[in-house]
Amino acid sequence: MTDLTRSTGGSSAVEQGEVAEVAELGNTLSQLFNTLGVSQRGYAARVQQHYSVVSRFLGGRRVASRDFVERLILEVEAKLGAPLQEAAKARVRDQRLAAVRATDPAEYELEVARQEVAHARRTIARLGREQQALHDRMDRLESELADSYAERQRLGSDWAKDQVAARRRELELLAAATGHRTGREALEAELARLRADLADVTALKTDSEDRCRGLEERVLALEEELGALRAMGERGTEEAPEPPLPVAELLNALSRHLVAGELREVTRALDAAAWERPAEELIRILLWLINMESRHRAEWLVSLVCEYRSLDTVADLGRWLPSLRREDTLDPVLLAEVVRARTPQDIAVLHTAWRTASAGGRGDALLAEAVRYSPSAQLAALLEFVCDAPATEQAVHEAGRRDFRPRRLFGLSRRLAERGHGSLADAVLAVVVVLAARLPGGADEFRNAFLGLRLNHGRDLADRLLTAGAPQSVLHLLHVLHCGKSDAFVPRELVERAAVVGVLPELLAALPGTTFHEEPGNDCRLPSLLRRYANEPPATDA
């Protein structure tokens, strides 16, 4: 086993910016990042990294990953419209290697070995091309030499046949034969030199292949050794890692640490459990933490599992959580952490896995949580992955019932429609219509959001609202917008668009069977408004 030393820069020193190499790398990356003219939060969303990770990379408090550095170089080149100088890019990469060497020598040696393997492979490819070029040159020379031998035989034959000819002819033939002999000798010498070069290149290629195989074996050994070192954690020895304690013994050890006030040991044990324990054992640990009145540690453990464990483990955790008492539930933490830490595709997978009865219907709750808090672009991508109009409608209804924000839902519907998901866009708007008519203050929120739209967006949205919602729902919305309001622009605009898109007859047909709640003092003229536009429909937009 190769002798690898432990990291020379402790994690606390790196976090405090005390490792000079990491700080220097952070300064260089910050200079590159400043040329982009974006915020760190925006860039973190672009590269799908957490904001705190990007902040530590740029602040010199964590060694930036190679993928982050290469992506930042590409972003800067795209922003400038020209490639960076090779010397500048090499300087950034050398600074990163220096930071890795200062904080994790094992990782540094592994990366250097990988670079040597890549260099060896490029050398092999180059030598292979040179070898092929030499082979082609030899083929051409051998063909020319064969032609020379054939020409010599022809000249010799002509000379033998014409030996009785004049002396001048004889001298010309002799001169021609001598010239060809000299050219043939030169070709033979060139061919011999090329054969010697081919032998040298073949030997170099063989040596490079042997060295590459050795380097590949060394990389495999380093990877195995590095994995073993990391598994041993802070012990820093070469002993084989011990199997994890049974969960009962782990809980006893945690109790002893808590009684002794050894909070650091408690945190270390919980961190290890979050990385390696199955879901059923994690549930026992969570229940124990809640019983010990340490709910904040239970929530921290759930956040670690949601962010770093596999989707299968997170899905199992969601299925086991119903075993906790209702007052001890960690559902809000689980759902919020999944929405924060996972990609839209991951959330769609978990939504499907948690829609079963054994998971307590967490799939629908997860989708509602995403509707409330996910950025619009990520939410649209999530609904594309789910691609279920009833589930979308239920999630939007649950989220809107808690926090009705029509402007956000209008934008979500427009994004979905632009991406070709008309049924999902209509499902969102159908819920907006119902909530605006039923929620206290929903009509005012709807009116303010609708009036804040640009003219073309407002008309497109009005058309979709009227065709997506059921006729009675649309009538209720128009009623609460129009009844007792001094500003009747919004209901007039909607009725005009209903006449343009051809749904006004459906609204009039549903009017007799619709019962409106009229408060005392309100004077709603919605029926007369509908009939007036039915008799005098406005002109269709060009």
Tell if the pTM clears 0.85, that is, is over it. Answer: no
> What's the CATH class of domain 110-234?
mainly alpha
Q: Is 245 exposed, middle or buried (0-12, 13-18, 19+ CB in 10 A)?
A: middle
Mark the ranges of the chain whose per-residue pLDDT is less than 50: 1-8, 234, 236-240, 484, 486, 520-522, 541-542
Q: Distance (Å, rounded) from C-alpha 132 to C-alpha 144? A: 19
Q: What is the pLDDT of residue 111?
A: 78
Of 1.20.120, 1.10.1200, 1.10.260, 1.20.1280, the CATH number of 11-103 is 1.10.260
C-beta separation of 53 from 348 below 8 A: no
Q: Which of 38, 1, 434, 57 is nearest to 223 (CA)?
A: 1
Q: Residue 282: phi, psi to the nearest 5?
A: -60, -35
Q: Over the stretch 416-475, which tens digit does the pLDDT of each residue have?
A: 888 888 788 888 878 887 887 788 887 788 778 777 776 566 677 777 777 776 777 777
The pLDDT value given to residue 228: 62
Can you give the pLDDT at residue 402? 83
Two structure tokens written together for 293: 């009145």
Residue with tokens 């309001």: 485
Q: How many CB atoms lie within 10 A of CB 367?
A: 31
Tokens 């459990």 found at = 273
Which element (helix H / strand E) includes 27? Answer: helix 20-34
Contact 170, 159 (CB under 8 A): yes
Do the Cβ atoms of 506 and 465 come closer than 8 Å?
Answer: no
Q: 375 near 391, Cβ under 8 Å?
A: no
Range 193-214 burial, b when 16+ CB lie within 10 A, else e: ebeeebeebeeebeebeeebee
Residue (of 369, 440, 439, 454) closest to 407 by Cα position:
454
Kindly report the number of other CB atoms within 10 A of residue 17's CB atom.
15
Per the CB < 8 A criterion, the answer to whether 472 and 434 are in contact is no
Coil, helix or strand for 300?
helix
Q: Are 306 and 271 in contact (CB under 8 A)?
A: no
